[in-house]
Structure 1
């Protein structure tokens, strides 16, 4: 990820120590806010500065933990869910009736890859607004094709496809692995969705040696994304070897993916290979997110677009509604929406193009009014609402651009 995005994240977390993370929710909508040009003097004592530094370090470390946990959109959503439950939020199911109360904190997930969380102000009344921050859980990456098994020149390889607008040359010569979601069949015949991550680097996309590509530095690096961007997985074993003995009885998976890959997934999930019905896997960089720069002023990480924004939005909501006092004078509903599939247009069941957010706002309004709110009441609430989308920008050493 580009350097300016990393810098902006660190700058934001430092600022949050002085201006609490709750501030995005405590400010009125921009159109209602008065702008003052009168300068104000602000002073900080040594003890205040020390607290700011310690708070900043804590937030940065928490961000690094979030990035390292969130290899995929499924892991990012699972980690967000874990943090919300730990903070006392109540999980809702879209298929159930909702019992909401002023001062309550709630969330629900969709497709295991998108999430909406909200905290209801104690003084909320029907017609009041929603203060929303939106971000997304997905990032540009390589995804395993539905039929990934490939064998060339004695090597097992995995067929992949590009997802989103990535800088694909940066995926060459890196330690890669797989992570994502797996659907399992349980003993009673039902299906179970589980996230999976193989920590070890099991894949690599090697660059062509310079003596076989002598014009690369003058003509540019122009890989064919279908034929050149295919990760090496393992050496091909002869029949009767370890790999051949690990084949699954599931014929569709046997034909679609290498048995060795399925065995590694089953070992990670502590299940049988035949329990795996299907997989949805991303190719991921195994290099951990970390601090860098001479003074540790940068965050070096992939997926900063847009996990940095997802983390900050989530942290703001949690920190601004930790105690009862935080919501005692709030008249609005503080909300965070983390969507999937932003990198490919958002037009999906779990993307921002779906009516998920609008339907959730109406449902919350109806539940809190203990009836179906009239169109006029809900329309007033929408007009008192605002939504801010948080994202990251790209940057490089090409300062002239």
Structure 2
């Protein structure tokens, strides 16, 4: 029997995926990794003092992050090699007043975040995660991460005996059929709202060791508790929640950390891509441009013209997973553009600018893949099907930087559990390291 595909990075990837149930958790994990590698945390509310060879990062909303390295020694910053991804994934988010009583059970009302593949959420062990703002007994308010990594809730399906046509196709109503069942209510529980508030206070105490006076507000969602895994008979697959797009976050961060530091490089991960990116910390917001302008200022290019020159000499590689051809649904792909798992990174192309790739940016990426002996694939949607989008076109529109869209192929995009190829991870990292180290971007 052939041995399983081995890659020293896979265990770290699996740990990152499993421990990042929300954008806030993913950002905190990446920040910790950066600090362990010697990156300095900057604050947007303070003045920045940068130096040659500087390695630093900054976050916004605790859910978006930008890390950058300036050239070492006397090398001036003339361009930046940018890698972009997003931290959010489709999921079920709790409503502000989620607690309900139904047939003697405490259930939680949810709203869908992004394009959730709803059927995959039934009958799973679900945890609870996000951030909460609490009031301590002394009146002080604080924001805390909440991470419930044990079975907290489930969304039970309806028996086929009560819905004989379910396998013939049935629409799922997110308002009435996706509430999460949490616990059986007793007489001592009080109202559903009181029961849920008490439960949150207990969960916070369990994790943080402090009994808070009240939960002022929260942003919480449900998440699958099955850990990420390397699967397949020969270890060919990575299966996990949130591969779209934490896989790209991991790949981009690894490339930045393994770069030689000789060139200017920047890694940006933004929130809210799955819902349009229109926020202060999304790709359509000013976060990236704000950081670029501050870098431009502190490296002595403090003019609008200098900023425009820096942007136009740079290149953004937007990394977001691509649709791999499915063994059971091969007809959903254009016959000449069906990326396969473990066959290399994918250049994503769309004539209507749903992806930002053009022949110039794609040509450079193909050249880098050739130089690194990495195979490269191309994805184009069928002409009779719609096409998704990424942060690529948004970043190109907002900042003006030349951009292309690439990604690793995957199955089951937006499912509660997605699948990618384990061999593809190292291939894209290898190309992105070469990109970060590349002297010329033309």
Give the shorter-chain TM-score range.
Answer: 0.7 to 0.9
Per the alignment, residue 119 of structure 1 pairs with 69
Distance 1:176 1:337 in 2: 29
Q: Once the two structures are superposed, what CA deviation does each residue of 1:86-113 show, in whole Å capped at 9, x if it has no partner?
A: 0000000001111111111000111110
Q: Once the two structures are superposed, what CA deviation does each residue of 1:195-237 show, in whole Å capped at 9, x if it has no partner?
A: 111111111111111110011122x132211010001100111
How far residue 254 of structure 1 moved from its aligned partner, in angstroms, is 4.8
Per the alignment, residue 221 of structure 1 pairs with 170
Per the alignment, residue 144 of structure 1 pairs with 94
SS state of the match for residue 98, structure 1? Answer: coil
Per the alignment, residue 245 of structure 2 pairs with 306
- Residues 261 and 376 (structure 1 numbering): CA distance in 2 closer, same or farther, change over 3 Å? closer
Structure 2 contact 129–147 (Cα < 8 Å) conserved = yes
How far residue 281 of structure 1 moved from its aligned partner, in angstroms, is 0.5
5+ unaligned residues in a row in structure 2: which ranges?
333-442
Structure 2 contact 201–214 (Cα < 8 Å) conserved = no
Structure 1 contact 133–390 (Cα < 8 Å) conserved = yes
Is 1:315 aligned to 2:254, yes or no?
Answer: yes
What root-mean-square deviation, in Å, do the aligned CA atoms of Structure 1 and Structure 2 show? 2.1
Which has a greater percent of strand?
Answer: 2
Structure 1 contact 169–221 (Cα < 8 Å) conserved = no
5+ unaligned residues in a row in structure 1: which ranges?
1-52, 248-252, 321-325
Q: Whose radius of gyration is greater, 1 or 2? A: 1
Per the alignment, residue 135 of structure 2 pairs with 185
Per the alignment, residue 287 of structure 1 pairs with 226
Per the alignment, residue 4 of structure 1 pairs with none
Distance 1:313 1:274 in 2: 41
SS state of the match for residue 361, structure 1? Answer: helix
Which stretch of structure 1 is more off in the superposition, 162-171 or 268-277?
268-277
Distance 1:156 1:275 in 2: 20
Is 1:380 aligned to 2:309, yes or no?
Answer: yes
- Residues 148 and 124 (structure 1 numbering): CA distance in 2 closer, same or farther, change over 3 Å? farther
Which stretch of structure 1 is more off in the superposition, 220-229 or 304-313?
220-229
Distance 1:182 1:141 in 2: 18
Which residue, out of 198, 209, 233, partners 2:182? 233
SS state of the match for residue 202, structure 1? Answer: strand
Per the alignment, residue 347 of structure 1 pairs with 278
- Residues 202 and 290 (structure 1 numbering): CA distance in 2 closer, same or farther, change over 3 Å? same
Larger RCO: 1 or 2 (CA < 8 Å, sep 6+) = 1
TM-score by length of 2: 0.70
Distance 1:204 1:254 in 2: 19
How far residue 266 of structure 1 moved from its aligned partner, in angstroms, is 3.3
SS state of the match for residue 107, structure 2? Answer: strand
Distance 2:116 2:267 in 1: 26
Is 1:205 aligned to 2:155, yes or no?
Answer: yes
How far residue 188 of structure 1 moved from its aligned partner, in angstroms, is 5.7
